[in-house]
Amino acid sequence: MPISYDNKVTEPQALVLFVIWQAKQRAKKAKIAGKTRGASPASSAPAGSSDGLTNVQIHEAIEAEYTRLGKGKKGTSFANIKKIIETLEEWRPTPLLDAAAREGKASIVYRLSKDMVRWATTAAMLLQLETDIDGPILRPGFVQLVLDREMKNPDGTEFSRDQIEQALDFCGDMAFPYVSQDKNGFITTTPRVDSEGRFLALIQHP
């Protein structure tokens, strides 16, 4: 039975996912910088950002993002953000947010699901397959097209052939895949890419 993707991530929902993703990237950079300086990771990363954000932190980040984008604050009330978080937790066919309690803390933090794309280069690769390719394409040919873009990983290294192959494997080898491959080696995106397209577009060029 085909997987149903009736819902598409809206702009406000994508921004909630994005600010959580962005906080994680900042925490990673702070951790690397802390190691370079000899500081402890805990003293380098913003509180809560390495393991998720609380709904209060998400609300504050959304307001800051709307200000940065020059938008009004319509739709950014705390009550509305809580509703968006609940919707993303209950997203079908698979949740996009996971909730967890922090050790020693009463507050709940929210993290992106592990079963979704969370890497800029992989997001860019999926959007290329979705929007630039007319129909299924042989996997080796697509890998070469991605290589031709000379994309860079967050650490500045090249998005290599092996990494592209690994990303395609990840996107295809899950319960709700982003990529499908037929017996002849042709690949194409699944409706999940279109469903989460607004979020993927935000993280491909953070």
> What residue segments make up the domains of the chain, in order of their start?
11-112, 120-204
pLDDT at 155: 84
Judge whether 172 and 124 are in contact, CB under 8 Å. no
pLDDT of residue 119: 94
pLDDT of residue 48: 46
Strand extents, DSSP E, 83-190: 97-101, 108-112, 137-138, 179-181, 186-189
What span, in angstroms and rounded, lies between the C-alpha atoms of 96 and 80? 17
Strands (E), the chain: 97-101, 108-112, 137-138, 179-181, 186-189
CA 91 to CA 76: how far, in whole Å?
Answer: 20
Q: In a structure prediction context, what are the per-residue pLDDT tens digits for the chain, which is 206 residues long?
A: 567 788 899 999 999 999 999 999 888 877 766 665 665 544 444 444 457 899 999 999 999 998 888 877 777 899 999 999 999 999 999 999 999 886 666 689 999 999 999 999 999 999 999 999 988 999 999 999 999 999 999 888 999 999 999 999 999 999 999 999 999 999 999 999 999 999 999 999 75
Q: Do domains 11-112 and 120-204 have the same CATH topology?
A: yes
pLDDT for 30: 77
As beta bridge partners, residue 180 has 188
| CATH class as words, domain 120-204 | mainly alpha
Query: Which pTM does this prediction carry?
Result: 0.88
Encoded tokens for 58: 């998400």
What CA–CA distance (Å, rounded) separates 190 from 5? 10
DSSP 3-state of 160: coil
pLDDT confidence of residue 191 = 96
CATH class for the region spanning 11-112? mainly alpha
Query: 3-state DSSP call for residue 104?
Result: coil
Write down the pLDDT at residue 37: 60
